[in-house]
Amino acid sequence: MRILSGIQPSGSLHLGNYFGMMSKMIAYQEQSELFCFIANYHAQTSLSDGKTLARGTLEAAANFLALGMDPDRSTFWVQSDIPEVQELTWILSNFTPMGLLERCHSYKDKVAKGIAANHGLFAYPVLMTADILMYQSDKVPVGKDQKQHVEVARDIAIKFNNEYGEIFTIPEPEIDDEVATVPGLDGQKMSKSYGNTIDLFADDKALRKQVMRIVTAPIAVEDPKDPDACNVYKIFRLFLDKARDAALRQRYKDGGLAFGEVKQELFETVRDFFAPHAARRAELLADPDGLRAILARGADKARYAANKTLRKVRKKTGLVY
Ligand code: ADP
Ligand code: TRP
């Protein structure tokens, strides 16, 4: 079973990114063959500053590696290190009806928000299709917003296979409805755009400040409290095993629990949980050439798999003469 996912490089990471996506991705390595890449071509649809993209790409790679991506066990690379994916995008464009792209919600939503539509934004799902088909992926874990793009990939793969035979594996989207949305400081979904995040690699002072800002109800210390109605608990439980979770719930119900105290404990828990990863991240970022070497080895593995597919495609479509 080959699992593939692409992740756009985006600035700092928060607990929602970690528990909603990264920890799952890292866990896939235990059971499956994982292909995972930094989608820097896709990021170009919303980012034009070259320095920011280059820096963001290295940081995203360091984040993943520090949090447990194992480059020996998995194939982990930067999308643009295999520019062959653009050749496949072009070939697949000829099997992509305009209507299929015109129906894509993510494109329509962006246009509705007033983002000027360009060809990159419109053709984004074809590049994503090439990512998926190039590596013969069986399963593609994505958030709900990306499900339609995996369906586009299926449609294009079926159309292509109908013409040329069984060249591509037909991919399945995998949507995990189980993963609850991680709430932010104010109880809404934790998101960069809401400014309500707890960041993974903030320094202690900034982290403590974020945790102390978690919104709580005005309930007296001595009164019993409902843990499930408390934003601090909803975040804290992500870090707790069964026994510690039960103990914390009991303290809420018994009364006598001060929110300031439990926030301090949460701060220490988050800090201690990520401290070893933060140290590893700092090491990786301090040696960008070492990091590039890890990514180059990942690209070699990805290129090998890509060329297997591309050779067949070029032959079938008449590019080999
Ligand atoms: P943001 O909303 O902060 O911009 P992104 O859209 O960059 O986050 O999210 C990247 C990935 O992290 C998403 O695919 C999603 O799976 C996961 N994610 C982000 N926020 C949360 C959250 N609050 N709860 C669960 N998963 C999340
Ligand atoms: N479009 C995806 C996102 O924004 C990233 C992505 C690019 C991707 N190519 C992919 C995801 C291939 C899965 C498979 O989240």
3-state secondary structure the chain: CEEEEEECCCCCCEHHHHHHHHHHHHHHHHHCEEEEEECHHHHCCCCCCHHHHHHHHHHHHHHHHHHCCCCCCCEEEEHHHCCHHHHHHHHHHCCCCHHHHHCCHHHHHHHHCCCCCCHHHHHHHHHHHHHHHHCCCCEEECCHHHHHHHHHHHHHHHHHHHHHCCCCCCCEEECCCCCCCCECCCCCECCHHHCCCCECCCCHHHHHHHHHCCCCCCCCCCCCCCHHHCHHHHHHHHHCCHHHHHHHHHHHHHCCCCHHHHHHHHHHHHHHHHHHHHHHHHHHHHCHHHHHHHHHHHHHHHHHHHHHHHHHHHHHHCCCC
Q: Is residue 141 located within the same domain as residue 263?
A: no
Number of domains comprising the chain: 2
Give the residue carrying structure tokens 């990514």. Answer: 295
Per-residue pLDDT, averaged over 116-129, amounts to: 94
Q: Is the CB–ligand 1 distance for residue 193 below 6 Å?
A: yes
The best mutation among 128, 156, 191 to test binding of ligand 2, ranked by most ligand atoms within 8 Å of the C-beta, falls on 128
Question: Which residues, 6 or more positions from 310, have their beta carbon under 8 angstroms from its beta carbon?
Answer: 84, 87, 88, 134
The ligand with the least distance to the CA atom of 181 is: 1
Q: Is residue 312 located within the same domain as residue 262?
A: no
Q: Is the CB–ligand 1 distance for residue 10 below 6 Å?
A: yes
Q: Is residue 268 located within the same domain as residue 147?
A: no
Q: Is residue 159 located within the same domain as residue 277?
A: no
Residue 195 lies in a domain: no
Residue 220 lies in a domain: yes
Q: Is residue 270 located within the same domain as residue 310?
A: no
Q: Looking at residue 256, which CATH number applies to its domain?
A: 1.10.240.10
Residue 265 lies in a domain: yes
The atom of ligand 1 lying closest to the CA of 142 is 14
Residue 189 lies in a domain: no
- Out of 111-120, 165-174, 209-218, 247-256, least confident range: 111-120
Q: What is the Å distance from ligand 2's center to 237 Cα?
A: 29
Q: What is the Å distance from ligand 1's center to 135 Cα?
A: 25
Residue 163 lies in a domain: yes
Q: Is the CB–ligand 1 distance for residue 189 below 6 Å?
A: yes
Q: What is the Å distance from ligand 1's center to 102 Cα?
A: 25
List pLDDT tens digits, range 23-59. 888 999 998 999 999 999 999 998 999 999 999 999 9
Q: Is residue 64 located within the same domain as residue 34?
A: yes
Q: Is residue 149 located within the same domain as residue 241?
A: no
- The predicted pLDDT at position 100 comes to 97
Q: What are phi and psi of 77, to 5 degrees?
A: -150, 175
74, 35 Cβ separation under 8 angstroms = yes
In angstroms, rounded to a whole number, what is the distance separating the alpha carbons of residues 153 and 71?
26
| CB-defined site of ligand 2, < 6 Å | 4-6, 8, 39, 42, 128, 131-132, 140, 142, 146
The best mutation among 23, 64, 174, 191 to test binding of ligand 1, ranked by most ligand atoms within 8 Å of the C-beta, falls on 191
pLDDT score of 132 more than 70: yes
Q: Looking at residue 65, which CATH number applies to its domain?
A: 3.40.50.620
Q: Is residue 16 located within the same domain as residue 154?
A: yes
Q: Is residue 147 located within the same domain as residue 232?
A: no
Q: What is the Å distance from ligand 2's center to 135 Cα?
A: 13
- The predicted pLDDT at position 287 comes to 98
Q: Is the CB–ligand 1 distance for residue 20 below 6 Å?
A: yes
- The predicted pLDDT at position 179 comes to 65
Show the domain range for 217: 201-282
Q: Identify the CA nearest to 195 among candidates 11, 1, 31, 7.
A: 11
Q: What is the Å distance from ligand 1's center to 193 Cα?
A: 10
CB atoms within 10 A of CB 292: 15
Q: What are phi and psi of 119, to 5 degrees?
A: -65, -35
**Greatest alpha-carbon span in the chain:** 82
- Minimum CA distance residue for ligand 2 atom 15: 7
In angstroms, rounded to a whole number, what is the distance separating the alpha carbons of residues 62 and 169?
31
Q: Is residue 133 located within the same domain as residue 14?
A: yes
The ligand with the least distance to the CA atom of 21 is: 1
Residue 196 lies in a domain: no
Catalytic residues: 110, 189, 192
Average pLDDT along the chain = 95
The best mutation among 42, 80, 135, 145 to test binding of ligand 2, ranked by most ligand atoms within 8 Å of the C-beta, falls on 42
The atom of ligand 2 lying closest to the CA of 143 is 15
Its pTM stands at 0.91
In angstroms, rounded to a whole number, what is the distance separating the alpha carbons of residues 76 and 18?
17
Residue 76 lies in a domain: yes
Q: Is residue 300 located within the same domain as residue 246?
A: no
List pLDDT tens digits, range 56-105. 999 999 999 999 999 999 999 999 999 999 999 999 999 999 999 999 99
In angstroms, rounded to a whole number, what is the distance separating the alpha carbons of residues 171 and 189?
29
